[in-house]
Amino acid sequence: MAISLPFLSSRIPLKTAATVCKSLSTMLHAGVPLLKALDVVSRKTGDSTCRRKLTQVRDLVQTGTEISEALREQGGYFPPLLADMISIGENTGALPEILDGLSDHYENLLRLRRSFLGTIAMPVIQLVAAIFIIALMILVLGMIAASGGNKPIDVLGFGLYGPAGATKFLSITFGSIFVVLIIYYLVAESFQQKRLLDSVLLKIPVIGTCMRSFAIARFSWALGLTQQTGMSMLRSIDFSLKATGNGAFAGASDEIRHWVQEGDELTEALANSHLFTDEYLQVVQVAEASGTIPETMQRLSPQFEDQARRGLSMLATAMGVLVWVFVAGCIIFVIFRIAFWYVGLINDAVNNPMG
C-alpha cells in the first residue's frame, strides 16, 4: 500500500497539472493534433518527472491507447479525477472544454492550498517556538541547578531537566506530532476509514464548516462540468462526489444515486445524505426546476470557495488563540513550579539550619 505523505508525494504538483491542462486545452482548441500537443507539452514543462510521464503517455497514445488509460498506467502520478474527466472528454468530444475546466479546478485548489498554508503559518510558528522555549527552560534551569550543586528544577514535573531532559522533551513532542500525521495519512489511504474520519471531522465546529464548503465547491464544479458534456445524471453524481476529495461525500455516492434511480429529485437525494447545507439545497431546487443545473453549479462553486476561505481565516484565528493559551498556560505552570522549588529550598534551610 502506497503512503501518500505530502513530503513523499509521487503525484503531479497542482501547479504543473494546471499548466499541462491549460496548454493541452489551448492547443486542442486551435486544432493541434493530440499527439503533437502531448509532445509539445512534455517538452515545455520544467518538471522532469512530468516530462518523462507525458512522454510515456504520448508513446502509449501513439500505439492506440486512449489518453485516459495511458494516464492511469503512470503509477498513480496523475490523479484519478484527471483521468476520469479526460475519459469523459474523449467519449463526448468535449476534451478541450474538459481540460480547460480541469485547469481552472487545479488553479483553484492551488489558491486554496496557498491560502490555507498562509493562514496557519503563524500559529504553527508560534507553536514550534513555544515548544523550543519550554525545551530551553528545561535545559537552562537544569544547568543552573547543576552548577550550584542544587537539586535540578523539574519544570514540567516529568523528571526532565538539563540537556538530556530538553532532548527527550523535543523528541517526544515532535515525534508525537509526526506519528499523528503518519496515522492520519495511513487512515486516509483506506477509503472506508477516510469516510469515517471525514464524517467525524465534518461535525467539528469551524473545521467541519471549512471541509463542507470545500467539498460542496468541488461537487458543484464537477457537476456543472459533467452536465455540460451531456453525461447522465447518475454518472455525473458519482464523478462529482468523488471529485470532492472528501470520504464522507464520496461514500454517499451509492445512496444518492439509488435515491435518484428510485425517482427522487436531485435536491431530495442530496438532502437525504445530510451532507449539504439548506442554503445549497434551496438553490439546487430552483436550478432543477428551471433546468439550469450546469450554469447554476458553475456559479455556486466559487461562492463556496469564498466561504471556505473565510472559514480558513476563522480556523487560523482559533488556532492562534489556542496556541497563545497553551503558551500562557505553560508559562504560568513553569512560574509556579519554580516558585514551589524556591519555597522548598527555603523550607529546607529553615528546617535544617545547620545542614
Domains of the chain: 6-107 (1.20.81.30), 119-355 (1.20.81.30)
pTM of the full predicted structure?
0.69
DSSP 231: -
Question: pLDDT in tens for each of the 355 residues of the chain?
Answer: 333 444 444 688 989 999 999 999 999 999 999 999 999 998 888 888 999 999 999 999 999 999 989 999 998 899 887 888 888 888 777 888 889 888 988 887 788 788 777 777 877 887 888 888 888 888 887 777 666 666 666 666 677 777 888 888 899 889 998 998 888 777 766 656 678 888 888 998 878 888 888 889 888 888 888 888 778 899 889 988 988 878 899 899 999 999 999 999 999 999 999 999 999 999 999 998 888 888 888 788 778 877 777 777 777 777 777 777 877 787 787 777 777 766 766 776 677 665 5
CA distance 101 to 272: 29
- Predicted local distance difference test score (pLDDT) of residue 273: 93
Place of cell 474523449: 90
Phi, psi of 320 (to 5 degrees): -60, -45
- Predicted local distance difference test score (pLDDT) of residue 2: 35
Helix residue ranges, H only, 30-94:
34-44, 48-62, 67-72, 80-92
Burial of 188 from C-beta contacts in 10 A (0-12 / 13-18 / 19+): middle
Q: H or E segment at 77? A: none
Helix residue ranges, H only, 94-232:
95-147, 162-189, 191-201, 207-228
The number of angstroms, rounded, from the C-alpha of 129 to the middle of its chain's C-alpha atoms is 24
Q: Which cell goes with 312?
A: 480558513
Place of cell 515525534: 175
231-257 pLDDT, tens digit per residue, is 889 988 998 898 887 889 989 999 999
Residue type at position 201: L
